[in-house]
A and B are shown apart, each in its own frame.
Chain A
Amino acid sequence: MNRWRRSVGELQARRQQVTECEQALAALSKVTACFQQMASSLGSNTDGSGLREELADIRAMAHRIYTGLHKRLITLLTEMEQRQEDREQVERLWVLFLSSLETFQKDLQKTSSLQELFPLTQRRDRSTLIKTGYSGGSEVAARAATVQTPWVSGEEERCPDLQKQISRMDSLLQEMLQTVNVPVWTVEATQEAWLEVGKEEHHDDETLEDLMQVEVISQDSTTTGCCHHLNCRLGCLLCLVN
């Protein structure tokens, strides 16, 4: 009787842990996506100490999430008593977590070399920043700041600086590949191809071509299209040369 009650309790705890891990994976995905969006402004005219601090904050948040997730997934995978569906789900989470870490590590490496290429220590360094047409803003950083870890934080270590984080991630990935024996190819996608087409809600989403429509300034435009292209609906370009 006691044994039965204990195993039900264990099952519930385990299921809760698995859902926690899924939420953590979603949170990690969100954070890494925000990191990537912001890293694309590195070296551009909007680059500055503010941007780099925001990037460091997001990095720290990601560090918290993935160290916690790593610990929990390891314990889930190494527990002895597992049932079949549970095991598959946890393995799937493991493989997705691995891919997530690899992509994030690549972003971190890119960030590190870009920060070396464009050191902003002196005033005249700002003159070499690439004029990309960005106008900057911290909307993405604000989005990243809304992410929370699904568990109560407190027991993690502080986030190391960029280089150390990259090398620690290296060793983490190596360790992950060696400790647990999860064949990567057994995991299958849960959704079919092309299922994500047009799924997000968008009120005013146009194609890039629509957004790039040039404003026609001159009223007496002699050419109504660029004339060389078949699908051209764009206005006259001559107005820009004035």
Chain B
Amino acid sequence: MTIRNVHDCGQRHRPRVACLKKVEALVLEMQDPTSGVKSQTQRLVITTIPHALTGEDVVAWIAKRFNVDAAEGCAIGTMMVAFGYIYPLRDHKRLILKSDASLYRFQTPYFWPAQQWPVEDTDYAIYLAKRNIRKNGVLELHEQEQYNNLHKWLNHKWDFIVMQAKEQYRAGKERKKPDRVVFDCQERAYWVVHRPPPGSVSAMDLGLLRLIDPNQEESETSDYFRRIIIFTEQCIMRPRVKSSVSLGANPWLTDDPAYWDLNSLTIDNPTRMRVERWTFSFGELLSDPRGRDGFRLFLKKEFSSENLAFWEACEAVKWGTASTIHEKAQQIYKTFLARGAPRWINIDGKTMEVTVRGLKHPHRYVLDAAQTHIYMLMKKDKYGRYLKSPVYMDYQRRATDPEAHNFTETQLAQNAKNRRPSLSPIILRQQEEEQQAKLEASGPVDLTQVMSKLDKRNMLKEGQK
């Protein structure tokens, strides 16, 4: 009745049973009363519970057993914790083995990960309902979301889930207090492994869904060889230059968002690499929004920013929705192309004729000719001057050089805790629009506007005379 998902990530082709079986054998060895891991007593306020292990004991045992050094032993131990064979008693959400005095305990075999018993959503729903039933039990955000999801999808057996949760809770209460604590810890650890909180790396992550069987021999037809040839050609084609320039701390490894902040769209001092990239070609400058901002500033000083504005408006027509093409094109004609327009651009007569004729029946690429003309104008004339201008020199001077990270372990842990979601794209779009409005509201930026203002002033003066 329960629909079994076939999203087993290719496990039916290459199951991980062997890996888990090896860890199980290791865990069984660790139990030996003479040669196994030393166990201690955990002292709690209410009682004492035996069979606690310290991290350093586990690491020492593994290192001796496999004849490896302590770092390797720690890595193997972390793998055991990540799979859920040993669980930490403090800081239960971080599944690593610390080789100090922090305490761990063995997980009961009922909660071991195993290939043949896939983890069921029904059990997770029962567990969440049990947590709800317990007084002072508050679910975390991701657990609440899961709960709501499960309530929707398992609605037909929801009564059974709640009934079973209540009965399991009552049965659990019958036990003695230390046993209850142990069982609750075990269950919690089991679900941390199998339903990890978002943002954490899970050892039970089986990767992508494989649709073909990797164990199957592929027949060597001409199609097979053709694909191999294409693949190797593409590999050769890719540029293989690796730079040793420091890009700053990798945010995926150190949880430090400084890299993204430095490369954002609204930063005042872009990084050196970004500033240099603008010198490669005009296309590079225009494709980086920050580069375009700098270029716009330069053009404003020269009172010729109608070119860039026209180019951007044409891009908006090309990439915008089909319903807005007509009105956008009309707006552009009124602002840039018409005789006596406020921001008249300087294109040759033939292009102007072609464009105006096309605007009678506007389509997406109607302004292409004019846009190309303006693009070439900017590239041949303004671009070169920009790269020698004081605006650009200023950018080069102020460019920052990000350094590689030197965070300590504790700082990395702190970074991981301070992870926050980035700004919503809706907010970013609003900020962009506000910026554009501010730009338009600022003073005259084109020659025609300046000339028209001067004309108006002259006329006023003559009028007064």
Q: How far is the CA of A186 from the CA of B157 in the complex (A)?
A: 11
CB contact list, B160-188 vs A, under 8 A: 160-179, 181-186, 188
Q: Which residues of A contact B46 (CB under 8 A)?
A: 211
Q: How far is the CA of A195 from the CA of B118 in the complex (A)?
A: 29
A191 touches B162 (CB 8 A): yes
Interface size band for B: 35 or more
For residue A99, give the distance in angstroms from its CB to the closest CB of chain B: 4
A199 in complex: contacting residue of B116, B117, B133, B181, CB < 8 Å: B133
Known: A32-B164, A207-B136. A240 touches B101 (CB 8 A): yes
Number of chain A residues whose Cβ lies closer than 8 Å to a Cβ of chain B: 86
The reply to whether the CB of A86 lies closer than 8 angstroms to some CB of chain B is: no
For residue B56, give the distance in angstroms from its CB to the closest CB of chain A: 10
CB contact list, A19-55 vs B, under 8 A: 25-26, 29-30, 32-34, 36-37, 39-45
Interface centre among A196, A199, A202 (most CB of B within 10 A): A196
B159 touches A190 (CB 8 A): yes
Nearest-CB residue, chain A, relative to B175: A139
Contact with A along B107-130 (1 / 0, CB 8 A): 111110010110010110000010
Q: Which residues of A contact B185 (CB under 8 A)?
A: 208, 212
CB contact list, A210-238 vs B, under 8 A: 211-215, 217, 226, 228-230, 234, 237-238
The reply to whether the CB of B426 lies closer than 8 angstroms to some CB of chain A is: no
A37 touches B1 (CB 8 A): no
Nearest-CB residue, chain A, relative to B24: A117
B164 touches A44 (CB 8 A): no
Interface centre among A98, A134, A239 (most CB of B within 10 A): A134
The reply to whether the CB of A172 lies closer than 8 angstroms to some CB of chain B is: no
Contact with B along A142-166 (1 / 0, CB 8 A): 1110000000000000000000000
CB contact list, A73-122 vs B, under 8 A: 92, 95-96, 98-100, 102-103, 106, 109-110, 113-114, 117-118
The reply to whether the CB of B349 lies closer than 8 angstroms to some CB of chain A is: no
The reply to whether the CB of B105 lies closer than 8 angstroms to some CB of chain A is: yes
A99 in complex: contacting residue of B28, B49, B134, B160, CB < 8 Å: B160
Q: How far is the CA of A153 from the CA of B107 in the complex (A)?
A: 40
Interface centre among B116, B133, B160 (most CB of A within 10 A): B160
**Which A-B residue pairs are the 5 nearest by beta carbons?**
A43-B109, A189-B158, A33-B167, A131-B51, A99-B157
Chain A contacts to B: CB under 8 angstroms: 25-26, 29-30, 32-34, 36-37, 39-45, 92, 95-96, 98-100, 102-103, 106, 109-110, 113-114, 117-118, 127-137, 139-140, 142-144, 173, 177, 184-191, 193-200, 202, 205-208, 211-215, 217, 226, 228-230, 234, 237-241
